[in-house]
Amino acid sequence: MIAVDHLTKKFGDLTAVRDLSFKVEKGQIWGLLGPNAAGKTTTMRILTGFLPATEGKASVGNFDVFEQPNEAKTILGYLPEVLPLYPDMTVTEYLQFVAAIKKVPAAKRREAVGKAVKVTGLESVKGRLIKNISRGFKQRVGIAQALVHDPLVLILDEPTIGLDPAQIIEIRSLIKSLRGEHTIILSTHILPEVTQTCDGVVIINEGRLMASGSLEDLTASIRHKEGLLIKVRKDSPDAAAEIRKIAGVDKVEAADGELKVEWKPGLDLRDDIVRLLVEKRFGLLEMRPVAMNIEDLYLKIVSGGSEQ
């Protein structure tokens, strides 16, 4: 649905995106991940036809964004990093204007705006001037604007930036609810956002592709150990010694009042460990998996630079 093929963008001497390629299948949500100035916004601007690429191709649906810009733009909704809102319009007026320039037929505009308002939860503010509504609502108007013409492809640049935690959760669940009908790319530098909402991820740094693939594939590729963090009431060295006796356990170490247990991937020792702790009455208080996920990969890539 979205294909980026050997894309390069130069601003004078500065190369913002270098030879970037990735693909997103229909109906999926993918995250574009990278530190600040990695080239996320530039990539999105090229995909939306706002900026032309120096080299390479990008296509949305079956339309090349350079060769058939109008067709591509018709099936594309875009939330830029800076919200493109007219402060002197009411929410409804604004969405009607957007629907009109996105080629929604006049007869269907009212319905389209009504739907976008409903989906994004803007009913209570739809008659107010945009300059008078709160930041959270503005962000939702931005998303409503991207959705109003029911595009096949949504490109969201930092959709949850500047929101409070409750609003972030709302916007995330809104984005998740769009999965299936819409193909979505969202950029972010907030890691949990990717693990919670996305099917796949493209990690870029300094304009280069560092890794891309589905979340499972990527995390599997770096998961060479499985582990648990355990907290017991009686923090005795006995507990560590007993756990160490379980077949398959590689390492047990105590840290911050917790025990970190690791074993080889492919095994599942959780049952055994719990049984042991309960039978020996160590007083199991807490048990959680050691995070071995996209965050590790990301940190490795971004801080390590050349490691892949």
Partner 1 sequence: MKNVWVVAKKELRTYFTSPIAYVVIVVFLVLVGFFYYNILMWFNAQAMQMAQNQYYYSQININQMVYQPLFNNMSIILLLMLPLLTMRLFSEEKKIGTEELLYTSPISVNQIILGKFVASLLVLLAMLGLTGLLSIFSFAFGNPEVAPILNGYLGLFLLGAAFIAIGIFFSSLTENQIVSAILTFGALLLFWVLNWASNSAAGAWKDILNYVSFLQHFDNMTQGILDTTDVVYYVSLAFFGLFLTHSVIQSRRWR
What is the closest distance, in whole angstroms, from the C-beta atom of residue 264 to partner 1 in the complex?
Answer: 49
Q: CA 19, CA 276: separation in Å to the nearest integer?
A: 53
Half-sphere exposure of 118 (CA within 13 A, CB side): 6
Window contacting partner 1 (CB under 8 A); options: 32-40, 91-99, 232-240, 265-273: 91-99
Q: Tell me the C-alpha to C-alpha distance, in Å, between residue 36 and each of 52, 100, 190.
A: 21, 34, 11
The residue within the footprint of partner 1, chosen from 16, 60, 98, 198 (CB under 8 A), is 98
Contact 28, 184 (CB under 8 A): yes
Window contacting partner 1 (CB under 8 A); options: 76-84, 159-167, 186-194, 200-208: 76-84
Binding mask 132-161 for partner 1 (x = CB under 8 A): -------------x----------------
What is the closest distance, in whole angstroms, from the C-beta atom of residue 76 to partner 1 in the complex?
Answer: 7
Contact 10, 207 (CB under 8 A): no
Q: Does 104 sit near partner 1 (CB under 8 A)? A: no
What is the closest distance, in whole angstroms, from the C-beta atom of residue 63 to partner 1 in the complex?
Answer: 11
Q: Does 239 sit near partner 1 (CB under 8 A)? A: no
Strand partners, 119: none
What is the closest distance, in whole angstroms, from the C-beta atom of residue 178 to partner 1 in the complex?
Answer: 19
Contact 239, 277 (CB under 8 A): yes
Q: CA 76, CA 101: separation in Å to the nearest integer?
A: 12
The residue within the footprint of partner 1, chosen from 36, 70, 107, 255 (CB under 8 A), is 70
Q: What is the DSSP letter of 264?
A: -
Does the CA dihedral 32-201-221-58 come out positive or negative? negative
Q: CA 283, CA 270: separation in Å to the nearest integer?
A: 16
Q: What is the DSSP letter of 172?
A: H
What is the closest distance, in whole angstroms, from the C-beta atom of residue 294 to partner 1 in the complex?
Answer: 29
Give the amino acid at 180.
G
Number of residues interacting with partner 1: please give it, by CB under 8 A.
31
What is the closest distance, in whole angstroms, from the C-beta atom of residue 88 to partner 1 in the complex?
Answer: 5
Q: CA 127, CA 120: separation in Å to the nearest integer?
A: 15
The residue within the footprint of partner 1, chosen from 6, 55, 62, 103 (CB under 8 A), is 103
Binding mask 34-53 for partner 1 (x = CB under 8 A): -----------x--xxxxx-
Q: CA 28, CA 182: separation in Å to the nearest integer?
A: 7
What is the closest distance, in whole angstroms, from the C-beta atom of residue 70 to partner 1 in the complex?
Answer: 4
Contact 120, 102 (CB under 8 A): no
Which segments of 133-179 are extended strands (E)? Answer: 153-157
Window contacting partner 1 (CB under 8 A); options: 77-85, 205-213, 237-245, 254-262: 77-85
Binding mask 4-23 for partner 1 (x = CB under 8 A): -------x------------
Q: Does 76 sit near partner 1 (CB under 8 A)? A: yes
Catalog residues that contact partner 1 under the rule CB under 8 A: 11, 45, 48-52, 69-71, 73-74, 76, 78, 80, 82-89, 93, 97-98, 100-103, 145
